[in-house]
A = this chain, B = another copy of it.
Amino acid sequence: MVRKLKIGLLGCGTVGRGLVELVGKNDALIRQRSGVELRITKILVRDLDKERHGVDHALLTTQPDKVLNNGCDLVVELVGGIEPARSFIERSLARGKHVVTANKALLALDGFSLMKTAEAKRVRLGFEASVCGGIPIIRALRNGLVGNTIQRLSGILNGTCNYILTRMSEGRIEFEEALREAQAKGFAEADPTLDIDGHDAAQKLKILTELAFSAQVNANAVEVEGIRDIAADDVQAARELGFVIKHVATAELSKDAVSLSCAPVLLPLSHQLAGIRDENNAVLVRGDAVGEMLFSGKGAGSLPSASAVLSDVVDIACHQGGFSMSPGGRVSASSRDSESNHYLRFSVSDPAAIGPITTILERNRVGVARAAAVWARNVSARHQVRVLTHFVSRKTLDTALLDIAGSGIETGKRMILRVAD
Report Cα–Cα, A200/B131, bound state, in Å. Answer: 34
Q: Which of A66-74, A179-187, A308-316, A374-382 contacts B (4 or more CB under 8 A)?
A: A308-316
Interface SS, A side: mixed
Task: For A294, give its contact among B133, B297, B320 (CB under 8 Å).
Answer: B297
Known: A33-B214, A297-B294, A314-B147. A304 touches B289 (CB 8 A): yes
From 8 to 33 in chain A, residues with beta carbon under 8 angstroms from any chain B beta carbon are 18, 22-23, 25-26, 29-30, 32-33
- In this complex, how many residues of chain A approach chain B with their Cβ under 8 Å: the count is 59
Contact of B307 with A297 in the complex, beta carbons under 8 Å:
no
- Tell me if A34 is interfacial: C-beta within 8 Å of chain B: yes
- Protomer copies: 2
Note all chain B residues with C-beta closer than 8 A to A147: 22-23, 26, 30, 306-307, 310-311, 314
Docked CA distance A62–B233 (Å): 69
Say yes or no for A64: interface residue by CB 8 A criterion. no
* A330 within 8 A of partner (CB): yes
Residue in B32, B290, B292 whose CB lies within 8 Å of A307: B290
Are B288 and A26 closer than 8 Å at their CB atoms? yes
A34 contacts across to B, CB distance below 8 A: 146, 323, 325
Within 8 Å by CB of A148, from B26, B318, B320, lies B26
Nearest B residue to A295 via CB reads: B295
Stretch in A136-144, A337-345, A353-361 with 4+ CB within 8 Å of B: A136-144
| Bound form: Cα–Cα A35–B146 in Å | 11
Q: Give chain B residues whose Cβ lies under 8 Å from the Cβ of A30.
A: 146-147
A134 interfacial contact with B, CB 8 Å: yes
Q: How far is the CA of A272 from the CA of B282 in the complex (A)?
A: 12
Q: Whole-angstrom distance between the alpha carbons of A149 and B298 in the complex?
A: 16
Q: Quick one: given A289-B22, A298-B291, are A29 and B149 in contact (CB under 8 Å)? A: yes
Residue from B26, B128, B272 in contact with A144 in the complex, judged by beta carbons closer than 8 Å: B128
Q: Are A310 and B134 in contact (CB under 8 A)?
A: no
A134: B residues at CB distance < 8 A = 145, 287, 289-291, 293
Are A290 and B26 neighbours in the complex by a CB distance under 8 Å? no
Encode contact with B along A180-204: 1 for CB under 8 Å, 0 otherwise. 0000000000000000000000000
